[in-house]
Structure 1
Amino acid sequence: MSTTAGVSASELAVRSIRIMADGDRADFDALIHPDAVNREDDVEPPACRVGGPAGYYATALWLRTAFEGLAYEIHHVVANGNLVAINSTMSGRHVAPFVVYTPAGAVDTVFPPTGQTFAITQSHWFRLEDGKVVEHWANRDELGQAKQLGWVPPTPAYLFRMARAKSRVKRAM
């Protein structure tokens, strides 16, 4: 599959992951199709649930706020036509509340910062159209992340911090 400016489908998909950690809005406009859909946005903030570059950029800001030093190490990339699969590791340090939402957009769970680092495997799937990402799916080791960050098993003190953090987030909305 050809893409714009001589960039291969694999390169485009890899860059679309890397901009989650370091890209500015112009990067998202260049790589994400205006009609793009993120199939993983059902627990993300409402701002992330819009289509196109704006939603993807909002997801990046959501992750960067909670996880300092967010980075992606790419292990494998496989492309077949307009589909690209990537095996990667995401890492960072939990420095701010990580807020998870219900499908209806209400605050579900708030994980107060632990200061801990994590590194988890992820598989990302992309569909490309017109030389841009038009669809994204992912599988993540969320249990591994929760264990590394001390979210599970939760201590009574951390459960109290979670409840207090959730109350603060709800009041701030």
Structure 2
Amino acid sequence: MNNEQLFRILIEQGFSKGDVTIFDKYTSPDFIENQHGMKPQNVEGVKNAIRYLHKAFEDFSLNIEDIVSYEDKVWGRMTGRGQQIGQFGPMPPTGKKIEITVIDIMRFKDGKLIEHWGVPDRLAAMEQLGMKPPPKFIMKLMALFR
């Protein structure tokens, strides 16, 4: 099995279907998680995040839109979808549907996932659920890019 196939299995079986046991089969004991805010930054953190997402969002799924493989890494641009039925961060259940972009990079070694970077568009998720950042915060954020 090549790295792109492994990426697809981990996204489709693990993240979309919520089968966290797939990570036991395809993750190295030396695995490192680099996604900001994920605790712990190991395979248990990934499993916890998947369980949390499936508890917060009914029919949560990640659909792979683009995928690129090079050497030991695979990059994927995905669309994450779901309807909020449980607590999500500070947001109580709203019943609202979200659709966000997620970028994932996975590094593989000897047929196992050894490192992961996940970049979900959390701001878009919060906005779609009705949580708006204060205008002063937005102005400060925009000033960083001038």
Specify the TM-score bucket, using the shorter chain as the normaliser: 0.7 to 0.9
| 2:35 paired with 1:40 | yes
TM-score with structure 2 setting the length = 0.82
| 2:53 paired with 1:59 | no
Look up the SS of the partner of 2:55 in the other structure: helix
Contact 2:59 2:83 in 1 (8 A): yes
Contact 1:34 1:51 in 2 (8 A): no
Shift in Å, 1:91 = 0.5
Give the one of 144, 147, 159 matched to 2:127. Answer: 147
Look up the SS of the partner of 2:21 in the other structure: helix
Match of 2:58 in 1: 68
Report % sequence identity: 29
TM-score with structure 1 setting the length = 0.70
Number of matched pairs: 133
Match of 2:108 in 1: 128
- Could you list the structure 1 runs, at least 4 aligned residues long, displaced by more than 4 angstroms after superposition: none
Look up the SS of the partner of 1:64 in the other structure: helix
Look up the SS of the partner of 1:12 in the other structure: helix
Give the one of 89, 92, 98 matched to 1:112. Answer: 92
Aligned-residue CA RMSD in angstroms? 1.8
Counterpart amino acid of residue 40 in structure 2 = R
Instruction: Select the structure that is richer in helix.
Output: 1
Match of 2:23 in 1: 28
Distance (whole Å) between structure 2 residues aligned to residue 41 and residue 144 of structure 1: 16
Distance (whole Å) between structure 2 residues aligned to residue 10 and residue 89 of structure 1: 17
Counterpart amino acid of residue 148 in structure 1 = Q
Match of 1:90 in 2: 80
